Structure 1
Amino acid sequence: MPVGRPLARLGGTFRRHVGMTAVVAAGIALRVAMLLAYPPALWFQGDSGTYVKLSQQWPAMPARWPYPWLLKAFEWTGTFYSVTLLQHLAGLALGVAVYLVLRRIGVGPWVATLAAAPLLLDATQLTLEHYLLTETLFTSALAVAALLLVRRERPGPLACLAAGICVALGMATRPTGVVALGALFLFLLLPWRGWRPVAAYLLGIVAVFGFAFVGTGSIEGTLGTGNGKFLYGRTAHVADCDGMQLRPGLRKLCAPQPLDQRPDRPDWFIWNKDSPIHQAERPEDLDEFAREVLKQQPDRYLAAVARDVGRYFWSPDLGPTEVCLANWWRPQLAPTNWAADFDCVPRTAGPDYQWRPLPSRNADPNAASRFLHAYGRYAVTPPLALTAAVLLALIGAVWPRRGRLRLSMITLAYLGIGVGIMLFSVATSMFDLRYGLPALAFLPAAAAVGWLRLRSAPVTHNKATAAAGEPKGLAPFVAESNGEDDDGSGDRGHGLIAVPERGGDAGGLRS
């Protein structure tokens, strides 16, 4: 073989992936800067300490929570650097995996790069990877589950089993994962691919929660449904108790402030010392209060949920306490100096593997933290970009076009998971940039696949009779992506070639 041919092929490969190579290199550099700026990890109030304390309860560590198990696995290192390094590597790997799977489906290199870029470059994503919090594990588990099911036209039983395990781990990490459980289950059901993939997927889910049930001994403990304080906070924030019929024990849980003077954040009703939650006679009263609000004032609740979900899709107007919370999810100049503003300045973990943060002290910014602080002011995914991604995905999924059913199903599955994460977190808790961040692993990818479906040629079947002298029994031909640039434009990236259709009706499912 002439030497020039492999070199030309290598050069063509590099040209197709040069954009993604640059984005990955930038993502690596940003994560190295995070490790240098905020050693060894960022620490969020009581949450981080709770996870670490749970991990130290071995062998009585709760089986229900995957994140303490992850922390326990790295306790031997004696430093939280090991955890943050793993989480940063997971963020990088997830961005690359999204790109590769989109390319496999047929999305062009530049569109696939744009879809993966938020995972690799978004400043909020970088910051949360550096926290001792569950977001990176949660996002990775759900995204891997989806990637396992969409990477092949017909996922095998092992891939479906692994996807079930991953989605169950995501749901055990944060209850919001239930939206992925449902969306991916429908993806396997429609169109029907046989009972084996569905059974394997469900078996993976049952295995994880079966293990949790053995450890907890109760259905409520296994599913994490025994605590109603978050839904209480959501409903107490909007309830007009003057217009409700409540028994005296529940009326004590009503907000003390008038409707127009209530705190910005519903979690005030969960954590604040002045909250009426402390007057609950029993934990079940919180669930009962929430049910009464949902039953008697559903319009107020639904309006609040719709308003807060919408804030993910345009620039939200944050109140004072919401600004305080948002500061935690952006790189700060010197997060170890939190004595002056205990509530609104991030802090860092201690040098050892303990459940307390680093003691408060004055700290000067370093070069890495100065750069990241400036970077974080601008390098976040704009809400209007998410709006455009949702619209593009919807249009691409439902646009009248013969065939390409599989592309529609992938688009709708990813769209359902991304929007569902935002909707579920707002409906059961509140609006928070942290809670909506996992959607970055799904909404841009949904838009990329929707774009592919809009640009792809419709599937056609050649029913003409073979002409004289032509061999009979050849499979009909369909248009399929070969991953190359079309028409020399360099931006479409899914050129069409004629390939034999396989498996009869499978042409309607082809990507």
Structure 2
Amino acid sequence: MAHRALVIALLPAIGLRVLAVLGFPPALLFYGDSFAFLREELTPGTARPSGYSLLLALLRPAHSLTLVTVLQHLLGLALAIGVYALLRRRGLPGWGATLLVTPLLYDEFLILLEHMIMADAVFVALVTGAVVLVVWRVTPATAATAGLLLGLAGITRTVGLPLLLLTAAYLLVRRYGWRPLVALVVAGAIPLGAYATWTKAEKGKFALTEADGNFLWSRTMSFADCAVIDPPERLAVLCPDMPVEQRPYPPHWLWEDFSPLLKVPGTANRNQLAGEFARQAILAQPVDYLAAVATDLRQLLRWERTAVDEKTPYKLPAAERPISESVRGIAEAYEAGPAATRVVEPYAGWLRAYQRFGYVPFPLLMVALLAAFGLMVWRRCWDALLPALVALALVVSPPFLAAFDVRYVVPAIPLIFLALGLTLARRAPELAAEEESPLLSRAG
């Protein structure tokens, strides 16, 4: 069997996902975010786009959070198979391609996100699927499909928007011709434009969210000194009132009662003023801004993702997590019954034990990314450029725009190992296309 290694690797990976479904029914719920996605009233999100909410709305008639998580688990498995197929097409042996998709199959955090009512698993599938299509072969059809996927990724998580622009730049630099480039941009603009128009109709503003300024402002709370910034009176209300060494991590400034952001009336006005303050703070204190970003990025050198005694939403629960009364009705309306995450032993315990070691430590992940860039230059394997750059953007952009979060790094895992695999492949893309059909040639 040509794909024996992959089949062998898939079986335990499926088993881990079965443990998640059996051990933590019906799904894992994340703070208030999951309930915002589950609301029956469909409106453009304020802090995050509502693309994932639209998907949940399509699945609502089934009244099953388990169905949602099972579909997300299947997406994760399909993603690994897609990356494997591309690497095999480029000449990697079955065992080599399987080895490179092992992190996609077995990383505990990817399994966690697949089992969570959050947009991340769908976002990972959309972005990686788009990159795989572009690397597979560039034609107007594949470029349009990739653009559509990246557009959908943009209304799922706003970081998808710059990834569409990055992919367009890749096609331009690689000189694939104007037809694929136009197809990518037009197809990507369709979901983005439709969503922004919806936001305009609902809220009077052509945008994807109303929180980009808030998030950037929270980033500046790590260092902002109003004696240096000297903001105008209308922005001074956003100055922090505690010493730098006592300030909490940036996300706390978005939601906690002490945040001066809450003193500003009006969602759109708050976002605009916060963005203005943030830009002034960064221009006035560029070194402090870069130092704050560097401090966050140093967490990529941490071997353990979460310490044993660390409080984090990214640990599988050991006991049922009650749902707050204020949002319980939202989840139970979607599920048409009890929706709190139950813990069913022994399956839950087995998966919790696996979570302690079943992951690629971030330092090794960064070594793999650096190796991909190095081998790409050495072997002139420029097809690896797109997945490598998209992975880099996913890893480094959050600390610049908001703050570091383990969850924001995980979507880069499939792209890093795809890029590394492409640099190790024996077969050039042009040769692979010719072997598949002598009539096919690179689009342009």
Contact persistence 2:394–2:411 (CA under 8 A)? yes
| Residue type of the alignment partner of 1:278 | L
Question: 2:410 is matched with which residue: 437, 452, 462?
Answer: 437
Distance 1:479 1:64 in 2: 39
Give the root-mean-square deviation of aligned CA atoms: 3.5
Distance 1:206 1:27 in 2: 36
Q: How does 1:146-157 map to 2 (within 5 A)?
A: 146-152=131-137, 155-157=138-140
Question: 2:377 is matched with which residue: 393, 398, 408?
Answer: 398
Q: How does 1:329-344 map to 2 (within 5 A)?
A: 329-336=314-321
**1:335 CA displacement:** 4.0
Percent of pairs with identical residues: 29
| Residue type of the alignment partner of 1:272 | E
Contact persistence 2:376–2:423 (CA under 8 A)? yes
**TM-score normalised over the length of structure 2:** 0.87
Question: 2:254 is matched with which residue: 254, 270, 295?
Answer: 270
**1:20 CA displacement:** 1.8
1:217 aligns with 2:200: yes
1:124 aligns with 2:97: no
Q: Match of 1:45? A: 31
Q: Match of 1:290? A: 278
Shift in CA distance, 170/313, structure 1 to aligned 2, threshold 3 Å: farther
Distance 2:403 2:113 in 1: 18
SS in 1 for 2:230: coil
Whichever of the two has the greater Rg, that structure is 1
Q: Match of 1:302? A: 290
**1:110 CA displacement:** 2.8
1:202 aligns with 2:185: yes
Q: Match of 2:219? A: 234
| Residue type of the alignment partner of 1:415 | A
Distance 2:260 2:336 in 1: 29
Shift in CA distance, 114/179, structure 1 to aligned 2, threshold 3 Å: farther
**1:203 CA displacement:** 1.4
Question: 2:57 is matched with which residue: 72, 75, 87?
Answer: 72
Distance 1:197 1:421 in 2: 24
**1:129 CA displacement:** 0.7
| Residue type of the alignment partner of 1:366 | E
Question: 2:142 is matched with which residue: 159, 180, 184?
Answer: 159
Distance 2:132 2:435 in 1: 25
> Residue deviations 1:224-274, cap 9 Å, x none?
3564211111111221333321223433322222112221x2111111111
Contact persistence 2:395–2:409 (CA under 8 A)? yes
**1:220 CA displacement:** 4.8
Structure 1 window deviating more from structure 2 (419-428 vs 207-216): it is 207-216
Distance 1:429 1:389 in 2: 25
> Residue deviations 1:357-378, cap 9 Å, x none?
8469xx7651111001100011
Q: Which structure has more helix as a fraction of its residues? A: 2
Contact persistence 1:52–1:354 (CA under 8 A)? no
Q: How does 1:178-189 map to 2 (within 5 A)?
A: 178-189=161-172
Shift in CA distance, 356/233, structure 1 to aligned 2, threshold 3 Å: farther
Structure 1 window deviating more from structure 2 (187-196 vs 137-146): it is 187-196
Contact persistence 1:47–1:133 (CA under 8 A)? yes
Q: Match of 2:419? A: 446
Question: 1:105 is matched with which residue: 90, 106, 114?
Answer: 90
**1:501 CA displacement:** 12
SS in 1 for 2:360: coil
**1:61 CA displacement:** 7.0
Shift in CA distance, 79/317, structure 1 to aligned 2, threshold 3 Å: closer
Question: 1:26 is matched with which residue: 1, 5, 12?
Answer: 12
Q: Relative contact order: is structure 1 or structure 2 higher (C-alpha 8 Å, sep ≥ 6)? A: 2
Contact persistence 2:89–2:432 (CA under 8 A)? no
Unpaired segments ≥5 residues, structure 2: none
| Residue type of the alignment partner of 2:293 | V
Contact persistence 1:389–1:446 (CA under 8 A)? no
| Residue type of the alignment partner of 1:216 | T
**1:172 CA displacement:** 1.4
> Residue deviations 1:405-438, cap 9 Å, x none?
xx32x21211111110122222111111111110
Shift in CA distance, 395/280, structure 1 to aligned 2, threshold 3 Å: same
Q: Match of 1:173? A: 156
Shift in CA distance, 313/106, structure 1 to aligned 2, threshold 3 Å: farther
Distance 2:156 2:409 in 1: 15
Unpaired segments ≥5 residues, structure 1: 1-9, 460-477, 483-497
Structure 1 window deviating more from structure 2 (69-78 vs 235-244): it is 235-244
